[in-house]
Structure 1
Amino acid sequence: MGTLNSIQYIADNIELIASNKTWIEGKAIEQLTFSAKLPDMLKVAGMPDLHPGKSYPIGAAFLSKNTLYPYLVGSDIGCGMGLWQTDKPINKLKISRWIDKLAVLDEPLNRDWQDEIEQTKQQFGVINSDFDRALGSIGGGNHFAELQVVETIFDQTLADAIHLSKKHVQLLVHSGSRGYGHEILNQHIAQFNSAGIAVDSDAGIEYLQKHNDAVQWACANRTLIAKQIMATLNIDADPLLDVTHNLVSNQQGMGWLHRKGATPSDQGIVAIPGSRGALTYLVKPVKSATGLFSLAHGAGRKWQRSEAKARLSNKYRVQDLQKTSLGSHVVCKNKALLYEEAPQAYKSIDQVIQDLKNAGLIELIASLKPILTYKTAKSGGC
């Protein structure tokens, strides 16, 4: 295994963007290696947040020639990050009041939102109407809505280019296509299991049509989550970015690029968050074929969900995990989810960012500190 800065070459068609300081679970490397042997697969790349999935790794990109692999994209098609800058000055924060008010996010949007739902769907060109009731919902797992403040500006010129203000509260939303994406993948599995399908086949054409709609649905969903937060807290906000990290796209002249928990580096400025007790980094990608035009999408899990709960439940009370070492608040009344998503279960976002920087793939713009993370106010499932 050769190493150059933070770039490791496991094989001719297997690249890993990670330094020797970054712990990558052996199972994740095995899954990455296995994916490189799939029919028609040209190259695979693991990010520094690489960790094992059910059969294939998360935090990776996969380039195939003429074959689509829906199983590589997964069920949460279109999952990604949206960032908005609010008009709320940081010296007028009302965290204690906001915590109770945001419980509205657990409920479906009511009839008063119908016009807004239709307008947002039209804005993003969403066709499907079967999952309208789920629009505006965060979902479970590692999804969240988070209010943040700018901690450090590393490059004032780049910050000014996106009008980033240190005086105002930021809003980061992480969510995807909810049940819509699950249905699309389940339909594929029922017919083909985890096998790939030819791009120009009837199945391939149908999958791409549904996939593309689900990607837009997810963008609309993040926007509606942000709009409901604005309405609930009586604030306004301007969108700074929205980027998708679960999708497949035609990489012109190269093939079909599947991303599973990998942020595109060829679509402008992106946000890469850590755990709920860590900073989020705003970065400008340096366009490069290294890493298959992709970056990490977060810190990446250090422990499996079941392992996290077993490790932490005897050390921390629920209330201990509702306040982070950064002083931020976490709203999550689902006890199991609170332990599964604890900061301790994730890798160091600082090391992930350093690996990307050492590989020459990013320029740092700013870091954002969480002040309130919202997951769910319900004690049951999400």
Structure 2
Amino acid sequence: MSSRALTVTLNYDQSKKFAIVLNTHAPKEAILRQARNKFRSKTLSLVFLRGGAHLKDGADLPDSITQVWISKGEPYSGPPIDLTRSTQPGEVRTIGEKSFIDHNAVNQLRLVGVLEGVHVAVGMPDLHPGSRFPIGCAIAAEGIYPALIGSDVGCGIALYRLSSSPRSVSNPSKLASLLRGLDEPWSGDVPAWLRKYGIERSSHFDANSLGTVGAGNHFAEICSVEKIADATVAESLRITEDCLYLIVHTGSRGLGASILSAQTTTESNPYIPPTSPELQEYLVEHDYAVRWAVANRDLVAHRIRQCIYWPSDTRKPMSSWSDDLEKIVEVTHNSVTRHALNVNGETRELWVHRKGAAPADKGVVPCPGSRGDFSWLLQPTGDGQINLQSLAHGAGRRHGRNALHAGTKIAKSSLTTTTLGSEVVCTDTDLLIEERPEAYKDIGGVVGDMEDQGLCKGVVVLRPVVTYKIREGGAARKPDRE
């Protein structure tokens, strides 16, 4: 192999790169050796060619290759191969003046905009980099890209009324102490629960994962009303200042990831054209994961209510549970749905992929902050064209997980009580650090950016009382990623 110049780029943060002169018959080993030194990371293990193909051990580099991407094992996030580029790249928009938006996330969004069939890609104010594609965005395309929906198909947020009378149990420490057994498998009739949601099939995720929050950025949060900004809408939702409410943010707990894995066995970012028979086959699996995730959120909510109000009555008949908890709002923010959109003056039916974006055509949308910040309920406004019928799904990360471990060590006790006086239940020390409030953007700025664009208006502000992350599961449970 003759000497040649090669640009080596860090897959996760593509602003980091260096050039080398390669003159070896074992290019992968040489590239990794220098990359580990330059990027100061011993865990770098994969070399990607443009488009996501792996450079295999002992294989030579084709003469046409001038750049490679180095990965710790996360999926490829570099540009697509030239053949998959659209001849007319889609429009890329970002919404956000008050909110910090990482340039790496914008770069990832731009790469999405050149994919075949993509017409518009919109970054919400909570936009932040993902391992491969950005989180906090909506993408309108002619066909479907399963990887643009993410691995947690069906992930979303639901809001419930936890108490139907003036709050009787609002002490954070007392409430936190009551939340037990929520990481363990539910002991009830799982098939019967799923049948309530039209699910007749089974998966190996049912028995151990249904009714659990999971890790990562997922949570269940007991909250109270801090402020009602729109009394008319709040009244229509039957939200009052003297009750407790529950936010549940979780998804399909591995089921969605298994569906994505089946789609990406031979290609890292497959595209299903609108005329392909595979499109309907994929939608069947997608819709299954979405229904499963809704069932999961409801069961998490019922288990939490059982912990608080029926701690000794563990055998209360499931048939009576539906009358005990009122669901106020339900949204799915990892999904794909069909919408009529105006593209260059022409109305087109397109598939809107939401990867961490809430639908704005289903009514009021919950927009949670960090565990140390307020959460909002938002009323969508406008015609939904500029934002692809979507809103931010939360505050969005400002800092990556690894960055939160740098600097002075923080006492665990200081992370379980927030500046708002709420309690955090989390026995995984790493997760406590990675999910602390400073990791997230200011929710007020995110909401303000959308209000300034005429996309929504604030309805209710909720104050956290107890945020449940994980207790018995500790660090043993694999995090769910959006």
1:215 is aligned to 2:290: yes
Of structures 1 and 2, the one with the larger relative CO (CA 8 A, separation 6+) is: 1
What TM-score do you get using the length of structure 1 for normalisation?
Answer: 0.92
Alignment of structure 1 residues 159-308 onto 2, 5 Å: 159-234=234-309, 236-252=324-340, 253-286=348-381, 287-308=383-404
Alignment of structure 1 residues 281-360 onto 2, 5 Å: 281-286=376-381, 287-311=383-407, 314-360=408-454
1:103 is aligned to 2:177: no
Q: What amino acid sits opposite 2:404 in the alignment?
A: A
Shift of 1:86: 1.9
Structure in which a larger fraction of residues adopt strand: 1
Q: Do the aligned residues in 2 keep the contact of 1:127 with 1:213 (CA within 8 Å)?
A: no
Shift of 1:119: 4.2
Superposed CA RMSD: 1.6
Q: What amino acid sits opposite 2:417 in the alignment?
A: K
Q: Which residue of 2 aligns with 1:5?
A: none
Q: Which residue of 2 aligns with 1:93?
A: 170
- C-alpha deviations, 1:229-262, integer Å up to 9, x for none? 1112117431101100000111144211100000
What TM-score do you get using the length of structure 2 for normalisation?
Answer: 0.73
1:50 is aligned to 2:160: no
Shift of 1:184: 0.4
Q: Do the aligned residues in 2 keep the contact of 1:82 with 1:174 (CA within 8 Å)?
A: yes
Q: What amino acid sits opposite 1:338 in the alignment?
A: L
Shift of 1:102: 1.3
Q: What amino acid sits opposite 1:251 in the alignment?
A: H
Shift of 1:190: 0.5
The partner residue of 1:18 within 84, 91, 96 is 96
Q: Which residue of 2 aligns with 1:8?
A: none
Residue aligned with 1:158, SS: helix
Shift of 1:132: 1.4
Shift of 1:137: 0.8
- C-alpha deviations, 1:9-57, integer Å up to 9, x for none? xx971111111x3211110010011100000111110000000011211
- C-alpha deviations, 1:169-227, integer Å up to 9, x for none? 00000000011001001111113321212234243222111001100100000000001
Question: How far apart are the structure 2 equivalents of 1:126 and 1:259?
Answer: 23
Q: Do the aligned residues in 2 keep the contact of 1:264 with 1:295 (CA within 8 Å)?
A: yes
1:124 is aligned to 2:197: yes
Q: Which runs of 4+ in 1 moved over 3 A?
A: 117-120
Shift of 1:94: 4.4
Question: How far apart are the structure 2 equivalents of 1:128 and 1:302?
Answer: 39
Q: Which residue of 2 aligns with 1:151?
A: 226
Question: How far apart are the structure 2 equivalents of 1:123 and 1:310?
Answer: 46
Q: Do the aligned residues in 2 keep the contact of 1:199 with 1:205 (CA within 8 Å)?
A: no
Q: Which residue of 1 aligns with 2:466?
A: 372
Q: What amino acid sits opposite 2:391 in the alignment?
A: L
The partner residue of 1:72 within 148, 152, 155 is 148
Q: Do the aligned residues in 1 keep the contact of 2:90 with 2:118 (CA within 8 Å)?
A: no
Residue aligned with 2:265, SS: helix
Q: Which residue of 1 aligns with 2:26?
A: none
Residue aligned with 2:387, SS: coil
Structure in which a larger fraction of residues adopt helix: 1
Q: What amino acid sits opposite 2:466 in the alignment?
A: L
Q: In terms of mean alpha carbon deviation, does 25-34 or 371-380 score higher?
A: 371-380
Identity %: 39
1:82 is aligned to 2:178: no
Q: Do the aligned residues in 2 keep the contact of 1:103 with 1:376 (CA within 8 Å)?
A: no
Q: Do the aligned residues in 2 keep the contact of 1:285 with 1:363 (CA within 8 Å)?
A: yes
Residue aligned with 1:210, SS: helix
Question: How far apart are the structure 2 equivalents of 1:271 and 1:381?
Answer: 30
Shift of 1:123: 2.8
Question: How far apart are the structure 1 equivalents of 2:248 and 2:295?
Answer: 12
Structure 1: runs of 5 or more not aligned: 1-10
